[in-house]
Structure 1
């Protein structure tokens, strides 16, 4: 038997989702406000990747919710609560990873690709293992959003769409960093993977 309405719209199960989502968006908004003055425009080194992230992920989320309501791709009813809990866990884990990365990067974290005059390679914390752990955190959060909807089509849309968006951002960012920092960033790239330790 399949279930229809996503649990994010079923009382009282929805409380946990909306509380976590409000917390996640509040953390992102606070970080954006704090770093707004240091962020460059979307043109130049950013190549509009900041806009691609903000607009693209917003459209993905809207599309995923629509699919959860209007397609017959719901997961089996016995998986309803385990999948919901796993999705909430991914959202929290992704946000905690992002918050850790914000602390590690400090002033160098911006929402557009911005090269500061005193820019340097940051290789502490999660950056010991990965080049872009903050983006991994974002991907975990978005995939968690896909999971809580309990719909295969929604999950596929969130996974494929979010990875496409962030791979573009990574390509733009790495080109800018390598151009600005030269050999120090080249060495950094050679010693760790992008998003998945020892794999990719």
Structure 2
């Protein structure tokens, strides 16, 4: 029997696979990819820890809230994260790539979500991982699903911000002073 959880998890995973396939920077048009292997590291961490979190949640009993409510809240947070991620990608347009690359005629996006957050796409993605952790309704599963992924995203943001600072200098450092990384006005 296919459940709502299965459908949402599948849609989330499929959307990320499609982004990986469709939105890669092309080496012919862009400056050298400066990823430093962070995309591969991200995928390894995500796959490993989502699977561990699923197993731990199935084999242990540390409910966040008894009953099905937390699963529904978690699924809603996944969907909210997906929507935020897609809006951020649409607002960045052709400048968005899944690998760290400076595109031809690249500029710093400072409007829309990017007027508040430097990495709204990552905010959306991290919301989805938080939602997944909540949806398994297990404190230990939540920590396992979210914390390692958050750490690897911070690693990736550090790489991106160094590349953007090297490319745009003071313009980017000024932009960093006026925006938050992931959470508006907090972080």
Give the alignment's TM-score, normalised by structure 1: 0.85
CA contact (8 A) 1:130 1:193 kept: yes
Q: In the alignment, is residue 150 of structure 1 matched against residue 137 of structure 2?
A: yes
Q: Which runs of 5+ in 2 are unaligned?
A: none
* Residue correspondences, number: 184
Task: Measure the CA separation in 2 of the matches of 1:36 and 1:112.
Answer: 6
Q: How far is 1:135 from its partner?
A: 0.4
Please point out which of 36, 40, 44 is paired with 1:51: 40
2: CA distance, partners of 1:180 / 1:104: 21
Match of 2:170 in 1: 183
Secondary structure at 1:115's aligned position in 2? coil
Q: Provide the TM-score with structure 2 as the length reference.
A: 0.90
1:81 aligns with 2:50: no
Deviations along 1:54-83, one digit per CA (max 9) or x if unpaired, are 111111100100111222323452xx2211
Are positions 1:29 and 2:32 aligned together?
Answer: no
For the 8 Å contact 1:39–1:110, the answer to whether it is kept is no
Among 95, 111, 127, the residue aligned to 1:124:
111
Q: Which has the higher helix share?
A: 1
Q: Structure 1 stretches of 5 or more lacking a match?
A: 1-10
